[in-house]
Amino acid sequence: MKVIHVHAAGIDVGSRSHYVAVGQDPEDVSEFGVYSRDHQQMIDWLNERSVTTIAMESTGNYWQTLFSALQGAGFEVLLVNGNQIKNVKGKTDVRDCQWIQRLHSLGLLRGSFLPSADIEKLRHYQRHRNWLVEQCSKMSNKMQKSLRLMNMRLDVALNDIMGKSGRRIIESIIGGERDGEQLASMIDGRVKKSKQEVAAALSGEWKEELLFELRDCFELYELYQQKMEQTDEQIALLLQAMVTPGQECPDQIRRVQKRHGKNQPRFDLSSLSCAYLGVDLFAIDGVSHTTVSGFISEVGLDIYKFGSAKRFVNWLRLAPNNKISGGKVLSSRTPKGKHPLGIMLRNAANSVGLRKSGTLKSFFNRIAYKKGRAAAITATARKLAVIIWNMVVKKQAFAPLDETTYTQKIRIATIAGIKKKMRKLNLSPSDLAMI
């Protein structure tokens, strides 16, 4: 095969050392450490050998600092998916880096998608915020368990023990209040259960060790909520800096206001996202604050790097992984592995399935009837990804078909499919009448 990159290098990134190859001979391989001084020694070694382009493979996050150092030194660097280089025999670190160098020199490797500096920074903030939300959920579950072990069934009386009424009651319990009727008097007027029923649910056996656990978990919950607010401030500042000065949400776009949950961002994400993207993603059925913030932090306007909606869907692991042999499709399951944004789109697709009406709801029901709910969630998530790509890249507003038009379109397609099958079987309408 013809060599495409003459001055190519391959790096097998490890947790304790990095193996670098610039050729296939033993003297063309060198091992370097993971410290900053080792990175500089690697850069000097590569410059001495006139290397211009580098491909690296890593199974963890050990590549990030090395990648930045090599890019800063002026090299063209590709981060390669491990699936592209897994066919090496007699696997060792030396053979791995040589195999990477050989494939890269022949032009057989593709670089993975990497976001721009602003999106990468926003991604760190958003993923840290997601971790804080998970910790809040764990503390809430732990408080619920402590109360349940004291037979304080606050989870039965209230839908959310960390709502407005639940927090008042827990704060009072921590403060020393033990009377059930007094605790029940703190509930909000919107609570459906009566005060007598809430008082009955709050009559239990007080245990010192469980009250200690309840107090600790509540304090941690409040701390995580405070940290979440500080993270939201950083995200808002970064989003405002990413918006072009003077750029606002276009007047012709009607921003859809959706219900604000307790763990949703504490800033106006609708206006900032609309100004940054130029379209209103909240107009899509099932898309919430979590989906929009996840899309901006994972991809944002770097979605232009995907040349088509199919490539974007494939990157999200929502496209069928067709395995064909001899013209026959052996398997069409989606590939293994979960993408963070793909998971958010699946959650949005699940919420579409819970809606009462809409074109996307009709599509969800049609797939669920044929292949089950799991397949419907994947198919709807893929459709949502295609809609988002078209909206952001082509600046198209979300304009779904009305249900009558959609039903008629499906009817026409079904009739066309039946006619095609009849022609294939050489059947006529008179043949069907005889059945």
Q: Tell me the three-class secondary structure of 74-111, residue by residue.
A: CCEEEEECHHHHCCCCCCCHHHHHHHHHHHHHCCCCCE
Q: Within this chain, do residues 277 and 300 fall inside the same structural domain, yes or no?
A: yes
Q: Within this chain, do residues 326 and 348 fall inside the same structural domain, yes or no?
A: yes
Q: Where are the alpha helices (DSSP H) in 16-153?
A: 36-48, 63-72, 93-105, 117-149
pLDDT, position 139 = 95
Q: Within this chain, do residues 366 and 262 fall inside the same structural domain, yes or no?
A: yes
φ and ψ at residue 19, rounded to 5 degrees:
-100, 130
The pair of structure tokens assigned to 406 is 């959609």
How far apart CA 417 and CA 411 sit, in angstroms, is 10
Domain presence at residue 336: yes
What are the residues whose beta carbons fall under 8 Å from the beta carbon of 356, sequence distance 6 or more?
none
Boundary-marking domain end, from 105, 128, 150:
105
How far apart CA 377 and CA 368 sit, in angstroms, is 8
pLDDT, position 250 = 64
Would you mind telling me the total number of residues written for the chain in this entry? Answer: 435
Domain presence at residue 358: yes
The arithmetic mean of pLDDT across residues 357-379, rounded, is 91
Q: Within this chain, do residues 364 and 258 fall inside the same structural domain, yes or no?
A: yes
What are the residues whose beta carbons fall under 8 Å from the beta carbon of 430, sequence distance 6 or more?
none
pLDDT, position 11 = 94
Domain presence at residue 111: no
Identify the residue with better confidence: 189 or 293: 293
φ and ψ at residue 316, rounded to 5 degrees:
-80, 0
Indicate yes or no: pTM above 0.75: yes
Domain presence at residue 76: yes
Q: Within this chain, do residues 425 and 375 fall inside the same structural domain, yes or no?
A: no
Q: Tens of pLDDT along 83-133?
A: 787 766 667 888 889 999 999 999 999 888 888 889 999 999 999 999 999
Q: Within this chain, do residues 185 and 136 fall inside the same structural domain, yes or no?
A: yes
What are the residues whose beta carbons fall under 8 Å from the beta carbon of 258, sequence distance 6 or more?
282, 288, 289
Domain presence at residue 173: yes
Query: What is the 8-class DSSP label of residue 125?
Result: H
How far apart CA 195 and CA 187 sit, in angstroms, is 8
Q: Within this chain, do residues 156 and 280 fall inside the same structural domain, yes or no?
A: no
Name beta bridge partners: 53: 8, 76
Q: Tens of pLDDT along 317-360?
A: 998 877 777 778 777 778 777 889 999 999 999 999 998 888 89
Q: Within this chain, do residues 228 and 288 fall inside the same structural domain, yes or no?
A: no
CATH of the domain at 99: 3.30.420.140
Query: What is the 8-class DSSP label of residue 367?
Result: H
Between CA 308 and CA 282, with CA 243 as vertex, the angle to 5 degrees is: 60
How far apart CA 140 and CA 148 sit, in angstroms, is 12
Q: Which helix (H) or strand (E) covers residue 380, if one does?
A: helix 373-394
State percent of the chain over pLDDT 90: 52
The arithmetic mean of pLDDT across residues 144-162, rounded, is 89
Domain presence at residue 329: yes
What are the residues whose beta carbons fall under 8 Å from the beta carbon of 400, sequence distance 6 or more?
285, 358, 359, 360
Name beta bridge partners: 56: 11, 79
8 Å CB contact between 346 and 291: no
Boundary-marking domain end, from 105, 131, 156:
105
pLDDT, position 85 = 78
Q: Within this chain, do residues 202 and 222 fall inside the same structural domain, yes or no?
A: yes
Q: Which helix (H) or strand (E) covers residue 238, if one does?
A: helix 208-242
pLDDT, position 255 = 56
Indicate the average pLDDT of the chain.
Answer: 88
Give the number of other CB atoms < 10 A from CB of residue 158: 21
Domain presence at residue 3: no
Q: Within this chain, do residues 253 and 396 fall inside the same structural domain, yes or no?
A: yes
Domains in the chain, number:
4
How far apart CA 306 and CA 173 sit, in angstroms, is 54
Q: Within this chain, do residues 178 and 47 fall inside the same structural domain, yes or no?
A: no
Domain presence at residue 110: no
Q: Tens of pLDDT along 191-216?
A: 888 888 888 888 888 899 999 999 99
Q: Tens of pLDDT along 43-91?
A: 999 999 999 999 999 878 889 999 999 999 999 999 998 878 776 666 7
Boundary-marking domain end, from 188, 204, 239:
239
Q: Within this chain, do residues 381 and 317 fall inside the same structural domain, yes or no?
A: yes
Q: What is the extent of the structural domain holding 25? A: 8-105
